[in-house]
Amino acid sequence: MLLKNSKILIIDDDTDVLTAVKLLLKQEAKEVVTEKNPENILNLLSKNHFDLILLDMNFNSSVNTGNEGFFWLRKIKESGVNTMVVMITAYGDIDLAVRSVKEGASDFIVKPWHNERLITSLGELLKGKKKLNQQINDSKEKSSAEIITESSEAMQDILYKIQKVAPTEANILILGENGTGKDLAARAIHDQSIRKDGPFIKVDMGALTESLFESELFGHKKGAFTGASEDRAGRFEAAQGGTLFLDEIGNISLQQQSKLLSVLQNRQINRIGSNEIINIDIRLICATNLPLHLLANENRFRKDLIYRINTVDILMPALRNRGDDIILLANHFLKVYAAKYSKPLSSLTQKTKEKLKDYPYPGNVRELQYAMERAVIMSEGNELLPQDILFSQLEGKMEIPEQNNSNLGQLEKKTILKVIEKNNGNITKAAQELGLTRTALYRRLNKYEI
C-alpha cells in the first residue's frame, strides 16, 4: 500500500535500465520519473517531492570522481530533501555499495535484480520510514530511557541509522560527547536486534585497572590469583547470545587493546588460570567520547582494533545542535520531576524556553536533566521561570565562559571554519566531526555567510 502511494525517481545513464525499472514499477507506484543525466537531479528535487530515489553508482558524465554515485549521493543529502536513496550497482561493486550505505544511502540493489524482491525491498523501506516517523511522534510520551527518539533532523538521522544496523551483526562504534546518550543508543540497538531476548551487558572500560581487566572481561578460575576464592565468569561469557557494550573504549591502554583484539579476532577466551577454550557468541557495541581522528592516533589506539570494532560508526549529536529537542526534553524532565517531588508545575514560560535554547550545554542531555531537576525542586509557582534555571558552574564554564550571543556566534563560526579547513573542504567529514547533519551545517554556513 505504501509503494502504491509513492513517487519514485530513477537516475541511470543506461536507457535499457530506465525502461526496465519504469515498466516494473509503474504498476506498483503512484508515479515513476526517469532521468539519464544526473546533473538534472537538483533541479528535479527543487520542483518535486520524491519518496524514493534509485541512483546508479557510475555515469558517463562530466563528474570525474571515479565513483560518481558517491558524488551525487552527497549532493542529494546536502540539498536537505527528506528522501531515501537506493543505490543501483553491478555485482562487482558491492563493496562500494556497502560504503554508500555508510555515507547515507538507505539501501542498494544489485544488477541484475529479481523483480519481486526489488518491489518487496522498496516497500519495506517505505514501511520502515513510516514506522520511524511514528516512533518520533510517540517518543514524547515515553520514559527517559527512550528519550533519544526526538524530532530534530540530527536525531532522525541517528534513529534511521539505528534501525538499519540493529538487525545486523555488525560491530558498532558510538561516538559523541559525554552526556549525549551513547548508552541509550547502544540499548536501542540491542532492543531492535535479533539478540533482543539475550543479555545486554555493559562494561565501563575506563574503570578497569590493568589488574582487573582480564578477570572482569574473561573471568578466572578459583585460585588463579590472590582473592580468587571461586570460579567466576567474565563479561564476555555473561553476554553469550546477547550484546556486549564496552563503554569508554578509548580509555584502555595499548596492552589491554592487544588482549581485546586477540579475543575479538578468534572469538574465543580463556579464563585466567585455565587452559579451557570457551567460544564466544556476542554482538559487540563500543562507545567513546574521543573524536575519531584522535582515536585513530596509533600512539593512543591500535588501528587494527579500530577496524575490528568499527564496522559502522554512529555519531551522537551534541544537545546544542538538536534545535527544538531541547524544549521537548525539558518538558519531559519537567513532567517527570514535578510528579516525583509533588510539585504543581505544568509548563515553561516563553522566556524560560529562550533561556534553555540559548545555553550551549557542555554537559549535553545529562546537564539539562540535572538543571531541570534542580529547577523543579526550587520552584515555588505553577510555571517554571527563567530565574529557576541555574546551570552547573562545573559544566557551564568547562569550555565556554559567560559570553553574549554575539560572542558565542563568533566562536561557532571560527570553529566551523577551522574544522572545514582541517577536512580540506569536505563538508560531509566536517559535519561528522562537528556532530551536525550536512543540512544543519549548510544552514550555519548560510547564517554566517561562509
> What average pLDDT does range 394-404 have in this prediction?
41
Give dist(CA 22, CA 8) in Å, integer. 9
Higher model confidence: residue 149 or residue 161?
Answer: 161
Distances 128 to 119, 121, 142, 301, 394 between C-alpha atoms, Å = 14, 10, 20, 37, 42
Topology of domain 405-447, per CATH? Arc Repressor Mutant, subunit A (1.10.10)
Q: Is the distance from CB of 448 to CB of 418 less than 8 angstroms?
A: no
> What average pLDDT does range 146-165 have in this prediction?
72
Q: Is the distance from CB of 119 to CB of 3 less than 8 angstroms?
A: yes
Amino acid at 34: T
Residue 400 banded pLDDT, cuts 50, 70, 90: very low
Question: Is residue 326 pLDDT above 80, yes or no?
Answer: yes
Higher model confidence: residue 400 or residue 115?
Answer: 115
Domain edges within the chain? 7-134, 154-308, 319-396, 405-447
Selection from 5-19, 238-252, 434-448 with the highest mean pLDDT: 238-252
SS (H, E, C) 378-441: HCCCCEECHHHCCCCHHHHCCCCCCCCHHHHHHHHHHHHHHHHHHCCCCHHHHHHHHCCCHHHH
Q: What is the pLDDT of residue 235?
A: 92
Q: Kindly state the helix (H) or strand (E) to which residue 108 belongs, with its residue range.
A: strand 107-111
Q: Give me the half-sphere count of Cα atoms (radius 13 Å) on the Cβ side of residue 194.
A: 9
Q: What is the pLDDT of residue 447?
A: 72
Burial 181-199 (b: 16+ CB within 10 A, else e): bbbbbbbbbbeebebeebe
C-alpha cell at 128: 520502515
77-124 per-position pLDDT tens digit: 777 677 888 888 776 566 676 677 767 777 778 777 888 888 888 887
189-210 per-position pLDDT tens digit: 999 999 999 999 999 988 887 7
DSSP annotation of 276 reads -
For the chain, what is the mean pLDDT? 81
158 beta partners: none
Q: Does domain 319-396 have CATH number 1.10.8.60?
A: yes
Q: What is the pLDDT of residue 146?
A: 46
Q: What is the pLDDT of residue 236?
A: 93
Residue 437 banded pLDDT, cuts 50, 70, 90: low
Q: Which CATH architecture has domain 7-134?
A: 3-Layer(aba) Sandwich (3.40)
The CATH class, in words, for 154-308 is alpha beta
Burial 122-152 (b: 16+ CB within 10 A, else e): bbebbebbeebeeebeebeeeeeebbbbbbb
Distances 361 to 269, 290, 429 between C-alpha atoms, Å = 41, 18, 23
Q: What is the pLDDT of residue 142?
A: 43
* Closest CA relative to residue 176, chosen from 95, 287, 272: 287
Compute the C-alpha angle 35/40/45, nearest 5°.
Answer: 90
Question: Is residue 394 pLDDT above 60, yes or no?
Answer: no
Q: What is the pLDDT of residue 426?
A: 77
Residue 404 banded pLDDT, cuts 50, 70, 90: very low
Q: Is the distance from CB of 371 to CB of 365 less than 8 angstroms?
A: no
Two domains, one topology: 7-134 and 154-308: yes
Q: What is the pLDDT of residue 324?
A: 80
Range of weakest confidence among 61-65, 220-224, 406-410: 61-65
414-433 per-position pLDDT tens digit: 778 888 878 777 777 777 77
> What average pLDDT does range 19-23 have in this prediction?
89
Residue 409 banded pLDDT, cuts 50, 70, 90: low
Residue 405 banded pLDDT, cuts 50, 70, 90: very low
Q: Kindly state the helix (H) or strand (E) to which residue 306 belongs, with its residue range.
A: helix 303-309
* Closest CA relative to residue 181, chosen from 129, 135, 133, 247: 247
Residue 16 banded pLDDT, cuts 50, 70, 90: confident
